[in-house]
Copies of this chain bind each other. A is one copy, B any other.
Amino acid sequence: MTKHNIILQPSGRRGQIDEGISVRSAARELGVEIESICAENATCGKCMVLVEEGRFEKYNIDSKRENLSPVGSEERAYLERRPKLLKDKGWEIGQVRLSCQCKIMGDVLINVPEESRGNKQIVRKSASNRAIEVKPAIRKYLVTMSPPTLERPIADWERLAKGLETSMQLVHGVDAKMPRWYDMGIDYQCLRTLSKTLRDSRWNVTVSVWKDKEVIQVQAGYHEDSYGAAVDIGSTTVALYLCNLRTGELLAAESEMNPQIVYGEDVMSRIQYAIDQPDGLEKLHKAIISTLNKLLKQAARTAGVETGEILEMVLVGNSTMHHVLLNLHPKDLGLAPFVPAIHKSMDIKARELGININASGNIHILPTIASFVGADTSAMIIAEEPHKQDENWLLIDVGTNAELILGNRKRLVCTSTPTGPALEGAHVEYGMRAAPGAMERVQIDEATLEPKYKVIGVEGWNTDHAEFKGHVKGICGSAIIDAVAEIFRVGIVDSRGKFNKQLSTKRVRQGESGWEYVIAWAEETSIGRDIPITQQDVRQIQLAKAALFTAARTLLTRSGLDSPDKVILAGGFGSFIDKEKAMLIGLIPDCELKNVYAVGNAAGDGARIALLNVDKRDEVDTVTRKVERFELPTDPDFQNQFMLATSFPHMSEPFPHIAHLIPNRKADPMAKNFMK
């Protein structure tokens, strides 16, 4: 057999290939995947390549036409019907070939353009920027069959399955591990319309296959794209991301308030509602299902697709949201010993849950780790990959409850702790959610003890404005952290959080509910009242930070570590707080400031990654099975640690990385001035 030299750009892969092999097959042999979904019928155009040189070992001769088989009629038809496509790319018709059609007849140098390359990638921006291969659970194949005859009256499904086997082999190679036609399955609801679709299409269909084993959609004619949705069900907000499963592209992001809020603001009150009301679970369940359907409809409209074209959904959420979604009673999540009904990930037909994607589509639900460490934390693990690190990473997802994961490739430990609503601006005297009119940043001058602040929706600091009136409504989470950190830094409160009553500023005063520091005077607000940070508010933050700190400390101790190499803050909270201030009050454990990252909605990102890359699902299943769970109340030292942690850091403690931030007061010399 004559062999020829072939070089593929931009990868630079090269080798000797038998004459007569198609360029696409040759590329596979050399480890370069080229797309194709038309079963090499010259109809999809996904496999276009550019012929750069023929006989490249003798650069003076350009005979690329002779070194590839001639352009056949189908290939010519495909290319000639697309002058605009070629023009837009700046390609000439003589230069472009369909790699499934042209056969190697001599040496060639081939350029595989970005759009033709298999194994597409999306980039996740996070603590570790990295590329995620697009490898969805669902792939599409064009299948063309000869119609049945009296001589060959084989059934519709078997006819399709045999054609599908051929198409899959053309796409993946004959040696790839693909099921034989008789082991392939078809979803029952999909089977119901199969016979009609095959005949309407004149035996030429696009088949969507789930996990290389189950046909879930058969469409007449040629179709390229299918869609999937990734959903993060938070206690407060439900966010849905609609993606193109072939390209990984995000087509729509929609969110809605979680309608279960009317039955209880936090997970514990919703669990209680489900326990108390005979139809409580049913109401909670139906509320979330109808919101999912609403979001699906909105996202489909935004993206210009039909909900029936959405073939899969990946769902994450904390364990309570997970149980309610699945209509599993959450009772035991809220009662000691705090046990979920199930950890493992599940695939459930959308129709079983009444979720309006394609009737044959599946809902994939990520695994839960513990009663208060849910599928959202599993998603965070896929997004951040602590299990692939040599360093020890501490991942914290802060909400009303905080989930913490610590470790590296060898071991991961996790726990959770209630932090109360203070960190989110709730249950604080003038607290509010992050919205226009909310104070979001606070600074206090060390000398004058005068504050300046920023308000959401207003440019710059309040002091930048000649006049600044009637803008402020309240304080959101990030400003509460700022305010508490600042009054501690400038000595208005001591490390126990007690107010210094001896200061010569009218901003520190005895208010209705005790001592307080006024950040905004009534005339600066839209509510006509002074907005202070109160002793009670400080106490709330102390309790929250003590809980979080103790949880982190417990994990570190159990892992034999002093401090984590990196701290990753997930969730909206982490994105808005001032990391330095958070460390100053001891909200997060001692760590170099540059190694503290805020990564936004890691749970949502993890859901999207699991949607787009099916291997990540197996990965998270394996990883979460090995995560060690610690329940804090069972830790003998917990109460002791917790009490100590309510204090703000002072110099006598080992905080090497934030030492420069801590007010340099020896053993809190002002303590005598503070109220008991």
Q: What residues make up the interface of A, taking CB atoms closer than 8 Å to B?
A: 148-151, 153-158, 182, 186, 188, 191-192, 194-196, 199, 326-329, 331-332, 336-344, 346, 348, 352, 368, 370-371, 621, 625, 629, 631, 633-634
Contacts and interface: CB of A to CB of B under 8 A. Distances in A.
Contacts of A156: 332, 339-342
A195 B153 contact: no
B153 A370 contact: yes
Contact of A195 (B148, B194, B328): B328
A151 B182 CA distance: 48
A633 B158 CA distance: 23
Contacts of A157: 341-344
A271 to B, nearest CB: 13
Contacts of A188: 326, 346, 348, 352
For A158, A192, A327, A338, the residue with the greatest tally of chain B CB atoms inside 10 Å of its CB is: A158
Number of this chain's copies in the complex: 2
Contact of A155 (B194, B195, B341): B341
For A150, A153, A352, the residue with the greatest tally of chain B CB atoms inside 10 Å of its CB is: A153
A338 B150 contact: yes
Contact of A148 (B196, B337, B348, B625): B337
A370 B150 CA distance: 11
A327 B192 CA distance: 7
Contacts of A155: 339-343, 368
A315 to B, nearest CB: 14
For A186, A327, A338, A339, the residue with the greatest tally of chain B CB atoms inside 10 Å of its CB is: A339
9 contacts: A148-B339, A149-B337, A151-B634, A155-B341, A157-B343, A188-B346, A188-B352, A195-B329, A195-B331
A435 B657 CA distance: 98
Contact of A336 (B150, B194, B625): B150
A153 B332 CA distance: 11
A296 B198 CA distance: 36
Given A151-B631, A195-B328, 9 more contacts: A153-B629, A155-B340, A156-B342, A157-B341, A157-B343, A182-B344, A182-B625, A195-B329, A195-B332
Q: Which 8 A-B pairs have the closest CB atoms?
A: A157-B342, A155-B340, A155-B343, A150-B634, A148-B339, A150-B337, A195-B341, A148-B337
B148 A329 contact: no
A158 B348 contact: no
A633 B155 CA distance: 18
Contacts of A194: 341-342
A633 B621 CA distance: 56
Contacts of A150: 336-338, 631, 633-634
Contacts of A352: 188
A629 to B, nearest CB: 6
Nearest to A622: B182
Nearest to A371: B153
A195 B339 CA distance: 9
Contact of A342 (B149, B191, B331, B343): B191
A338 B148 CA distance: 9
Contacts of A148: 337, 339
For A182, A342, A621, the residue with the greatest tally of chain B CB atoms inside 10 Å of its CB is: A342
A414 to B, nearest CB: 12
Contacts of A158: 342-344
A192 B352 CA distance: 12
A343 to B, nearest CB: 4
